[in-house]
Amino acid sequence: MSEPFDPDSFEPAGGPQTRDATGLPAPLADLQLRLQQLRPRQPQLDLALLERLAAGGGVSPPRAATGFSKMQLALAVAAAWLCGAIFGAALLLSTGFRTSDALTQGQLAASDARVPTAAAVETVPASDEMPDRGAVADTATPQTATAEAERQDAQRTKPGGPKRLLEINERFWESPLRVNSLRLQPSEQVFIRAPRQPNELSVASRSANGPGADATSATAASHSDSARPINLMQPATPKSRQQLLDDLLNLPTSDLY
Amino acid sequence: MSQIDEQQLRCIVAGHAAALALYARQWCSSPDDAVQEALIELLEQNPPPRDAIAWLFTTVRRRALNQTRGEQRRSQHQQRAAAGREPWFQPALDANLTSAEVEAVLERLDPTDREIVVAKVWGELSFEQIATLVQRSSSHVHRRYHHALSILHNYLQSETPSSQQPSATRVRTL
């Protein structure tokens, strides 16, 4: 703890002869006295500033002169900038949402205006035909046994079959454009009803549905005179539920349009 | 503990500002700035230093040395300032010792000796305070002070006839 400041304590007590120079020889003491008679130049100091500092006023003008302190002005400017930034960001976000929503609506309207093809008209979702097709398949030939096994597997694991996959896809893909395109596009999971129809129509439908149906061309040709409905879109090798889901998810986007 | 008030400040300025400026003049060409900054720094001290005068000498020394480092980077400006510098002392009332003579002999001293002499003679510091200032022992400072005074005495004794000698010869030649 330091002691209180006392300026009088800094003044040396007594003359220069009585201070630390008492042990000096006479010539040196005389020289010291002569040197002390020379007064150094007084420095040019800003005494007004020093006195103001000593009085506690500080260097900056008093607060009453400006009305507001610098801290208050800085806070006000910062708050104004913050409010402006928040309002601008909100405006930009709302504008962006409106633009993207209008664009989506326009694209949806354009995709809904498409006319479905003949093959698409002929195709019926398999879920509508599942009970009938299952009943017919009980009397199917050994060539259709594989397809029947796959169908039973699909029915056992997931009621609804391929339609269920589409529902999953609709849930998984959030874009309405993509789901709408899937609805219009014939895929492997769409079964074709072929009750007692000539082979030309069946082959035409098969070729329109991609290479997955080529493997069943022999089966369709050999049993074209049969009274039973033949699933022309059934793959040669049975696919599991997971494989069907993977195929559906891996559809390239360019094929959707 | 309160800071230094105006009365204490006036007392310090009146009694020690000149010695502080002379002390700072050994290193820098603008000692007034060093003293002013040291006084401002003293007023900002809360609590104030225990020995304000010794603290002021230390602070002035540090600030003068800092100024010298800046001046060394501007050597040409320093040379111009040194050429037109102010006298160290006020004109002496008696003709016993002139300001120019004391300046001349002080400049011949070793820097540490000169610092000790200025702090002792004009700064009126004790040997203990000077020892703290120059970071030496008190006995060492005492010995060097005696040695510096002896050198000054010899210079002044030798310069007086030598300074009179050229004028005498000049008179004789004229």
pLDDT digits (tens, 9 = 90+) for A157-167: 555 555 666 66
Q: Helix A241-249 vs helix A145-157: angle between axes, to the nearest 10 degrees?
A: 80
Q: How far is A68 from chain B (nearest CA, A)?
A: 25
How far is the CA of A253 from the CAs of A188, A212, A250, B87, in angstroms?
Answer: 16, 19, 9, 92
Does residue A171 belong to any structural domain of this protein?
Answer: yes
- Cα A220 to its chain centre, rounded Å, is 49
The sign of the torsion formed by the CA atoms of B43, B44, B48, B51 equals: negative
Q: How many CB atoms lie within 10 A of CB A27?
A: 12
A105 exposure class (CB count in 10 Å sphere: 0-12, 13-18, 19+): exposed
**In DSSP terms, which residues pair with A123 in a beta bridge?**
A192
Closest CA relative to residue A176, chosen from A111, A125, A116 = A111
Cβ contact B90–A37 (<8 Å): no
Q: Is the pLDDT of residue B50 over 90?
A: no
Tell me the angle at which helices A176-184 and A162-172 cross, rounded to the nearest 10 degrees: 160
Find out whether A108 and A177 touch, Cβ atoms under 8 Å: yes
When pLDDT is averaged across residues A128-151 and rounded to a whole number, the result is: 56
Which residues from chain B sit within 8 angstroms of residue A19, using beta carbons?
A: 124, 126
Give the tens place of pLDDT for each residue, A61-83: 444 444 566 778 889 999 999 99
Q: Number of structural domains, chain A?
A: 1
pLDDT over 90 at B116, yes or no: yes
Q: What is the pLDDT of residue A233?
A: 60
Q: What is the pLDDT of residue B19?
A: 92
Nearest to B102 by CA among B60, B153, B39: B153
Angstroms from A88 CA to nearest CA on chain B? 46
Residues of B in contact with A53 (CB under 8 A): 40, 43-44
Whether A14 maps to a domain, the answer reads: no
Query: Best of A10, A17, A22 to disrupt the B interface by mutation (most B CBs within 10 Å)?
Result: A10
What are the chain B neighbours of A45 within 8 Å (beta carbons)?
13, 17, 32, 35-36, 39
| Residue ranges per structural domain of chain B | 1-86, 88-174
Name the band, by pLDDT with cuts 50, 70 and 90, for residue A84: very high
| Contact with chain B for residue A252, Cβ under 8 A | no
Q: Is A110 inside a domain boundary?
A: no
- B98 min Cα distance to partner chain A (Å): 8
Q: Which two tokens stand for residue A58?
A: 């500080």
C-alpha atoms less than 13 angstroms from C-alpha of A30 in its C-beta half-sphere? 8
Residue A124, phi then psi, degrees to nearest 5: -130, 135
Across A208-215, average pLDDT: 48
Note whether A112 contacts B: Cβ–Cβ < 8 A.
no
Instruction: Label residues A170-194 b or e (16+ Cβ within 10 Å = b).
Output: eeeeeeeebbbbbeeebbbbbbbbb
**Does the pLDDT of residue B130 top 90, yes or no?**
yes
CB atoms within 10 A of CB A211: 9
Task: Look up the domain containing A155 and give its range.
Answer: 118-256
Interface with chain A: mutation pick from B2, B13, B118, highest number of A CBs within 10 Å: B13
User: CB-based burial of residue A1 (10 Å sphere; 0-12 exposed, 13-18 middle, 19+ buried)?
Assistant: exposed
Say if A143 falls within a structural domain. Answer: yes
- Considering the domain B88-174 in this protein, what is its CATH number? 1.10.10.10
pLDDT in the model for residue B117: 92
Q: Read off the pLDDT of residues B55-90 as tens digits, 9 standing for 90 and up.
A: 999 999 999 988 888 777 666 665 656 666 667 776
A39 within a domain of the structure (yes/no): no
Q: What is the pLDDT of residue B24?
A: 92
Look at residue A68 and tell me if it is in a domain. Answer: no
Q: Is B146 close to A39, i.e. CB distance below 8 A?
A: no
Judged on CB neighbours under 10 Å (0-12, 13-18, 19+), B111 is exposed
Q: Does A36 sit within 8 Å of B121, measured CB to CB?
A: yes
**10-69 of A, contacting B, C-beta below 8 A:** 10-12, 16, 19-21, 24, 27-28, 31-32, 34-47, 49-51, 53-56
The SS3 assignment for A123 reads strand
In a domain, A123, yes or no: yes
Q: Residue B122 and residue A36: Cβ atoms within 8 Å?
A: yes
Q: Look at residue A18 and tell me if it is in a domain.
A: no
Chain A positions touching B36 (Cβ under 8 A) are: 43, 45-46, 50
